[in-house]
Structure 1
């Protein structure tokens, strides 16, 4: 894989750290601004909404800009938003910075997904996507726990400053490593209307839906994993970080292995990983009071979730071959619809008889729904676009 892919993954690492780090910082933020923790939690919703809206909006605005210019611009806006957020004394301003950071994150990821596809041959999109998404998985392993530690020792503002600073070497890497392209790089490609019309294709909508469902299942449980560790398993708060790191290590393993298979054998990944993922969530709910089983299944579910999810998002890129500048935004939107909807569904289960285990059962139901939709259409999901279409996409993307 080319070096520029890893430079893009560095930026994804910084952005992934920002997206997930608030889980450990909300109490301090609420205290600093004299608001409730629930009100502070709106910062997470602001980021999720910004990601969903920002993916197609930013990709559409940037489609005629040079790829390197777009990526640099989004990185600088993201960094500046964190610097302003770290310095402000107004909760409203902090809320606004989360929206701007999410818009920049969504735009960067949408352009990066498309750019990644142009840096490799047309049959290696899955491996390129695996490298890019490894930035997110490493963020869950190191970035989020590290940000929580920095916040605990130096205050939540120090974590925001750290994320802002982390973007600067990434910007230099993009400037040096991403090839420059003409400003009107899509002049000979399809018109915007044609790219948006791709969303009418049932195959594309299908894989987007499945990607969103699997990601919803992932974030439904990931978001509410802490009370399972402390209340159900009866462990101390320190073990929450252990569980999150294990989930992150599993996700890194899953996306790495799936990245080597999702181009040529997506059907096999879905056929094997889907049922195992379905079994894993209720198994985790049933064995959550046993620490060894809990931590083992957290690792396994992280691996399966990201293996299946990254494979489905790779299929989005293949199915959107006729939208060379917007394909990344469609993949990003599918990911973030799941990330936003999953926790909302999981939250409704906390007040049921299932209690803290409700999100785990909700994840199982979401995966079951995805498999019910996918099973009769498995040949469609496993099959890519024709080689001519993929080659045409490669030509228009360069």
Structure 2
């Protein structure tokens, strides 16, 4: 939180993710931002009958979700013009005074680039251009956004390395964790989820979006080589045909769960897993669930995702394996883990929090908002270190 005592400008976020979907980085950060300032979370448009309009729904007194409603059958150019008109009208109606604008998707730059803004932040949490179905215009719009942005934050070390030469002020803020929320799973005293309670043990669990990042072949192989282990999959399915997912008596798809429900499910797992494919979509990911699993006290097995291998794999907090046989053996070993592992994990996690991440970001935003100094030193809109600023312990 800021100690300046001054009224802080509104924050307007443009996101490719919806607020009421999986609770992840945008929700963690922007709910904290709303403690100090008014936050408007602008989602991608939905189709609706009638004239173009904005649907604005409060989440709390300081944060609202803004969803453009556009008529069906508008082509890309017409959508862009409609969105630009809606944003310009809304800007005038609300009399926004050089708000802080925050981008998760460069696609929003196509209709928002002319809006009067103060500090512009690009919080790059994924390399979206590598995702399945990425719009062809995304790369060019990202370059335009980078040319205007005052600050670029990245969701992990790999993304930092990919972006650090593309802008003067790039800062790495890897995925953090609400330790207290997930640590409740270690000594759970609440009700046990009914849909999981009947699943035999040992239970090997995963939560997250089930999409092209999941290694379907690995999951199918694990179910086959360890028929006595039961694999619990929590989360919505996106961009994959549910019929293509492994179907076996020991694979259980329990659907999407709320953030508040996750500790109860984790409490009933023996091992947590990250069965990610190694493809373009996962090349730069920094899974938020890694420290969340660890905070819950679960042993973790993951494929060799770069931002999991370093720091978690190299410190011995997460076992790394990529094929069904070695992954299964890693699960075998994880089931034998003793409590001594948790002490080292807890020491590592003690320096990580979303509060700390937001405070670090806020400090850089305040620095970027100062007038440009004649020396070009602190006070420049691109001030701040060019080396990564990490939310967790240094490597």
Q: Same fold (TM over 0.5)?
A: no
Normalised by the size of structure 1, how large is the TM-score? 0.26
Higher share of residues assigned helix: 1
TM-score where L is the length of structure 2? 0.26
